[in-house]
Amino acid sequence: MTIQIRPQAISDLKVREFQMLIDGQWTAGAEGKTIERLAPSHGVLVSRYQSATKADAERAIAAARKAFDFGPWPKMTGGERSNILLKAADLIAQRSDELAYLDAIEAGKPISQCRGELGGAVDIWRYAAALARNLHGESYNTLGEGTMGVVLREAIGVVSIITPWNFPFLIVGQKLPFALAAGCTAVVKPSELTSGSTLLLGEILMEAGVPEGVVNIIVGTGAEVGAVMTSHPDVDMVSFTGSTAVGRLTMTNAAQTLKKVSLELGGKNPQIVFPDANLDEFIDAAVFGAWFNAGECCNAGSRLILHKDIARDVTARIAELSAKVKVGDPLDPSTQVGAIITPQHLEKIEAYVSAASEGGVTVSHAGGTLDLGMGQYMAPTILSGVTRDMAVAKEEVFGPVLSVLTFETLDEAIQIANAVDYGLSAGVWSSNFDTCMTIGRRVRAGTIWMNTFMDGTPELPFGGYRQSGLGRELGKHAVEDYTETKTLNMHIGSRTGWWMPR
């Protein structure tokens, strides 16, 4: 099941030094401190970033504010912004190997997966570029002979964009190009664990022609930098992806100045499987949905809700296929599951498995850490006999842990699916169209996959219900999320005064 770390790969790893991008200049932090990143796969130093302080965050916000209020970016035509975004997309494609390597080595993600994500990111940037030309308002000439109404879409202003460590480049691509397409300026804070590819994006955007101060990229902790970015009065909107707990804190900070907030948070996503499903296709989707990105994915199919008539056989088949999944060195193109992001996160995942085992759950496959010589790895783990009241059935483990629950009726399956605080995504597997549609209508989640799982395209909105977040990313309205609506109510001819006879 495992691939050993290749010694030659360790000796090839080099430490890359990064600075922050503020007002078009690469700069050190105000206090000169740095953040060092150890590769989770190899345990050696691979990146060193300048560590931002409150003063640096304020400087970046001031640059974005100046660029929005006085710079050329918001005043450009949609076509001009579109052309720059298209050039950025081309440059991303040209440097995709370099970007993929940074995500693989800093996040522990398989390099083959990172390359696929880069292709998806390029597609999103091009889609956003197209939307830049299509942003428009409305007009009303049916309001009476003397009245004309025009509704404008104006860029909201300065946007704070805060992204997580699990999809470093892809998730910034679900936010930044749409904000830029609308004419906004931005301060971007990637996770301090995986900042390399986002900082490299800064180089790409400058080369593509994005004016100084339009995109500012700083690295730091949430407590020191994120707090400023989410509460500062010169920030007009916050777009955050991360845990539900930090999402709540983000809302609290933003409420101080009533900022617009977009949140993409956690998930505890079910796949509901009926006996008439194509089980061969489902087994593959179940393994993919559970182990993709080592389960460190808000969209992970971490709950299987299986009809009791097929549960034992299906679980055994998933375990059999999971045994063939290759876990190991992310830099090996054949690796399918890489390293866990930090030792602390690995301990958290293990604690969930241990608590479930003590509670009577059966570990149907693997379980526990893998010793591959260095770095931190965990074997794909299947837990059977899980009930809906257990922590592993309700809480986001964010690791390679699959919980198996059973049902007897369609209504019971829906109740189990909805019996969590989250509502990001779900899957249903059945050859009966009515069954799929019923699940699709009654399960409360932002995306329902039918006879597939974790497919995506820039045209389709993405986001969740309840504690999975607020708002939607992607889709044809994504640029509109970064705008304010303004009404121009125009009167034609003389106006009848209040005191004048009608």
What would you report as the CA-atom Rg of the chain, rounded to the nearest whole angstrom?
24
Contacts of 480 (CB under 8 A, 6+ apart): 135, 153, 182
Per residue in 39-79, pLDDT (tens digit) is 999 999 999 999 999 999 999 999 999 999 999 999 999 99
* pLDDT of the residue at 13: 74
* pLDDT of the residue at 366: 79
* pLDDT of the residue at 7: 46
Which of 303-307, 308-312, 453-457 comes out lowest in average pLDDT? 453-457
Task: Please give the distance of CA 501 from its chain centroid, rounded to a whole number.
Answer: 61
* pLDDT of the residue at 44: 94
337/289 Cα distance (integer angstroms):
12
Could you give the angle at which helices 96-107 and 111-132 cross, rounded to 10 degrees?
A: 120
Q: Is 298 a catalytic residue?
A: yes
Which of 68-77, 171-180, 274-283, 372-381 comes out lowest in average pLDDT? 372-381
Mean pLDDT across the chain: 95
User: Which of 298, 350, 436, 473 does the annotation list as catalytic?
Assistant: 298
Hunting for tokens 């440059």 — which residue is that? 91
User: Which of 58, 106, 117, 264 does the annotation list as catalytic?
Assistant: 264
Output the six-digit token pair for 13: 């790893």
Per residue in 102-137, pLDDT (tens digit) is 999 999 999 999 999 999 999 999 999 999 999 999
425/269 Cα distance (integer angstroms):
5
Q: Is 114 a catalytic residue?
A: no
* pLDDT of the residue at 256: 94
**CA end-to-end span of the chain:** 86
The distance between the two most distant Cα atoms of the chain, rounded to a whole number of Å, is 92
Burial 26-59 (b: 16+ CB within 10 A, else e): ebebbeeeebebbbbbbbeebbebbbbbeebbbb
Could you count the other beta carbons within 10 Å of the beta carbon of residue 496? Answer: 10
177/9 Cα distance (integer angstroms):
34
pLDDT band per the 50, 70, 90 thresholds, residue 454? very high
Q: What are the C-alpha distances in Å from 27 to residues 19, 219, 393? A: 5, 12, 46
Which of 11-15, 327-331, 345-349, 479-483 comes out lowest in average pLDDT? 11-15
Instruction: Find out whether 198 and 103 touch, Cβ atoms under 8 Å.
Output: no
pLDDT band per the 50, 70, 90 thresholds, residue 495? confident
Output the six-digit token pair for 359: 């509670």
Helices (H), 144-264: 168-173, 176-182, 196-208, 227-231, 244-255
Per residue in 405-429, pLDDT (tens digit) is 999 999 999 999 999 999 999 999 9
Instruction: Find out whether 137 and 163 touch, Cβ atoms under 8 Å.
Output: no
Q: Length of the chain, please?
A: 502
Residue type, 390: M
* pLDDT of the residue at 501: 59
Give the DSSP H/E element, type plus range, for residue 119: helix 111-132
Domains of the chain by range and CATH?
9-265+468-486 (3.40.605.10), 270-450 (3.40.309.10)
274/286 Cα distance (integer angstroms):
14
Per residue in 14-39, pLDDT (tens digit) is 899 999 999 999 999 999 999 999 99
* pLDDT of the residue at 347: 95
